[in-house]
Structure 1
Amino acid sequence: MDERSTTVFMILLFCVASVAPAAANTLDVCASCHVNATCDDKRDNSGKVCNCKYGFVGNGRTFCQDKDECQIGATKICGQHTKCHNTFGSYYCTCLSGYVASNNMAVFIPNDGTHCQDIDECSVEGICGEGGQCRNQDGSFDCSCQLGYRVRNGTEPFHPHKDEALCQGQIACSYNLFRLVSSVLLKLFLMTSPNSAVDCGQPTLQEDTVLLSATGTAFGSVATFECADGFVRRSGSSNSLCGADGLWRGLSVICEAKCGPIPFLAHSEVLWRNRSAVIHRCVNGYHSWRGSNVSVCSSSGVWQTATLKCIEIKPPINRLLVSNENCLQWSAEKYEEETETYKVIYSGSRDYERSFSDKRKQFLRSKTDWLEVCLNLLPATNYSIAITALSAGFTAAITINTSLTAPAVPDVHYREYDTPVPILTLHRSPSTLDPISFYQVFVLPIEGMMLFECSSPTNGEPSGKSSSSQGHVAAQMSSSHVGKEFHFTVGDGHFYGGFFNAPLEKGRNYYVILRAVSHWKKDSKSSCVLWAKVTGTSYIVKISSLSAAVSLGLVALAVLLGCTYTGFFKKK
């Protein structure tokens, strides 16, 4: 072999060595995908690969964890002037105070171009109060006083919602002096009244309300309430009066959300809410399937209800059962009209046949909701069956003990014999899967009309050396001792399985029947076949007949020779 041939040979060996292990270690990739992953085709179509679903990160097989999109920063994921909120498998964005989403929604995802833009607070008339002048800023605003007014309780510029400053003119100052004098006179009156010792304490808040003002906590004081931000007054009084009994009374205002009660979604609960948005999630035992999980109060005062649908969590393989001891049936709980691939693996064993093993598997692809696959299970066998939905990565298992069936009729060739010790032949496949326990040979004398019941109880008691005139069991042989071809001599005087193979009586005719018996636990099944007929011509009769035939032959020969001799001499 030259150097070039040697090089080519070594390259071929290297290729075979590198490819063989790969073929031997083929992995069912889809069955190993994580529950939060999908099984996809590789870009080069060389196989399958597990990829974590949108909103999750990981290797696709051993783990897929929630991806915190907000960790890279709200500015990068949501845009300027935003706050990012992470959820399981997703996220959403809100605008900072002083900004509003360009689509006027309280929460959004910026993949449609939505961004936060400055709110022009100065477009609201009177936001700075009387005598105030508004100046809009990026994300906020401030106020200053017009000519003829001066700032009180602060300096310019001021923020009316954060500071106590406000603009007052000369008339306003006189009015404030009037209020101060009136307040002093009212207090003096209350102090001299019989109920001057009554103190109602701090006014009690009602749901969804805030305290606007209170003249005090003594008898006759009045507290005024208003609905909290995001709520509107529907009915009732917004004033509460401190009574002589020391209790606040009269407040009956009812405040409702601007859009009314929050929307209700079946099988869901509220995860988070504010005055204009609600985030829903499915309750335990249900999981989300399609749709948005956010309800938003629109500018028109109507809830834009979330489209989230919560469906009951069920295993991908449900109501698994075996029909007619052969066909596997189950309900496919799928949430999409897609094709699922199922792998069925089943293994069978027998208590009475330790060497027996039946291991098989098959695959099934289907879109239907109710499936059936027949497995051709063998009788009298203990089976363990496992079925896996590959894309869902879910496995269900079931066990079944198939019942005993009648064994196949033994393969023999019927013949008639005129010898008292005929040799009969049984053909049997060594790899048969029939659960045959043993064979029995019955010898029945032929007497008039006969009836043999094959399904009669198996006689397991060995017999003595005497044979019954009604017939007897001549032999019992375990199936493990019967090979591909088995020869049996009727009437040889030996014991087989404890049964005596008695010699046949001379001059009688017999039928020989072979019975195959399957025995498992407390059940027995059998099949029978007529194996042979033995005629009973006696040995003396046979010898006499043979002697007579020989004698007749000799006489005929002598006559023939005499005639021939006489004719010869006459010619001479």
Structure 2
Amino acid sequence: MYWRTALVILAFLTLAITEMRVTGQTLDVCATCHPNATCEEKVDGTGKACNCMYGFVGNGRTYCQDKNECQIGANKICGQHTACHNTYGSYYCTCLAGYSPSNNMAIFIPNDGTRCQDINECRVQGICGEGGKCTNMQGYFNCLCQVGYQVHNGAEPFHPHQDKALCKAIDCGQPPSALNAVQLSATGTRYGSVATFGCSEGFFWKSGENSSVCGAESVWKGPSLVCEAIDCGQPPSALNAVQLSATGTRYGSVATFGCSEGFFWKSGENSSVCGAESVWKGPSLVCEATCGPAPALVNTEVVLQNTSVVFHRCLEGFHSWRGRNTSVCDITGKWQAATMRCREIKPAISDLVVFNEKCLRWKADKYEEDTENYRIAFVGFRAYQRSFHDKRKKLLSSTSDHPEICLNLLPVTNYTISITALSARFTSTLTTNTSLQVPQAPEILYREIEAPLPTLWLRRSVNTLDPISFYQVFVLPLEGTLVFDCSSPKTPDFSSQRKPHGQYITAQLHLRDIGKEMNLTLGDGHYYGGFYNAPLQNGRDYYVILRAVSQWGGAFKHSCVIWAKVRDKSYIMKVSSLFAGGSIGVFALAIFLGHCYTWFCKKTRQSS
């Protein structure tokens, strides 16, 4: 109490002495400021005063001591999750553990907007160790163990940097065993691994599960299967046989058998085995009675015989006609005789004949109701037409004993025909000649053409197979009564006459010389096939006739058609286009001329 009073008195004395020193002089206030103070103008304008600087407190002249800003609390001055640190004349802030400053600086002053934010430690790979699972919290983190792992040396949750706890993989060790069973497979010994089991040989799976699983408690769960011994019961019996022995009724046991008296062991196994399905397998032996001598069949002989089977075959000169060729001794001691029939061997095709020049008929030797397949091949040629060649094939299926087939044989042709019975592999062959036929009269189509000379045009298909040998062109003068006999085989010979008298042949065109087409000008004075193409006389009318001739050997057949008409010296002619179908082939004829008289055009169109 007394020392405080003394200090106050001392202060006043000091002030009085100071004021006494400056009496009568101007006082310099700024010179009295403390080193940690500043001299500033007073607010009221009455002079200057000394003020302690920021971070210091005092009178500004005699003392300015440090201000502890942290004493008001870190949360108030630095913010949440911070620590405040005082310094001489100032202070600074830091973030608590588990937090980091937003400006990424170790220290900060909060007036720059810096704040402390939570650190996500779980971003660090493997921070919780193998099998650990990280969980982030505000300012810290903890660890839990994943499925298949369990905590070791501690409890969950745990901190890997502070605790000794860690996660270890669950391992159940080797799988367990099961009664009367064997392990079939195992995926491992870790958590979730599966081991499977099966019953041992001689046992069967009666109930329960056949698998075991490594669980979260490091313990195998299962298996629960129950395996019981296989028992087949008493051995079976066999027809006409007796049991000789048996080793038991459990799995793998064997029972043996033998044929009863009066029977013989024909084939099969004489033992039976208790199998995995609790069933006896076997025996398969067959015990049969003796049947005695083999049965005899007509026209057959025995080729092989044992105690129960006889094989028969047909005698030479005979063939099998259906039926079974074996005789079998059955279990009753009786022969089941063969049913085969043997018939005398005859050709599969006989009495082959041709009728109507195109049809075939023959006698078939086969099973009555069987279908036989025949292949018919025929080749034709013509002596008068070296380039001609007709080669074809046909197939026929028939159940008839006298099959027939008709072929499209061409006329005036030598044919060789072969018929093969495919199943019997038998072939019959014959030759035949087709006769000469009258060439079919061509169809005429008329038209009119103007030309200075009467020229005939003939076009013929080169692929035709008709029997035409040559064409003849007749010129018939129109004088009096006109008679022309196309059917007459006689051909008037005017080859030596330069001046024609009556009807005459002006040209003979052989098939080999025509080819595909040719032109013929009437009256050009040339020879065609040995016939003189005499000039036509002015002022006379003519008919022009075409005759198609088929000649083979001594046969001579033909047909005629009116080709054109020439009137007066103007050579006005009717133009005809001829097309022949059927066996006579295809050809076209035309004449180039002047005008056609109406009465003739009408008449020839009607006659066509």
- Category of TM-score, reference length = shorter chain: 0.3 to 0.5
Q: Which has the higher strand share?
A: 2
TM-score, reference length from structure 1: 0.43
Q: Which has the higher helix share?
A: 1
TM-score, reference length from structure 2: 0.41
Q: Which structure carries more relative contact order (alpha carbon 8 Å, separation 6+)?
A: 1
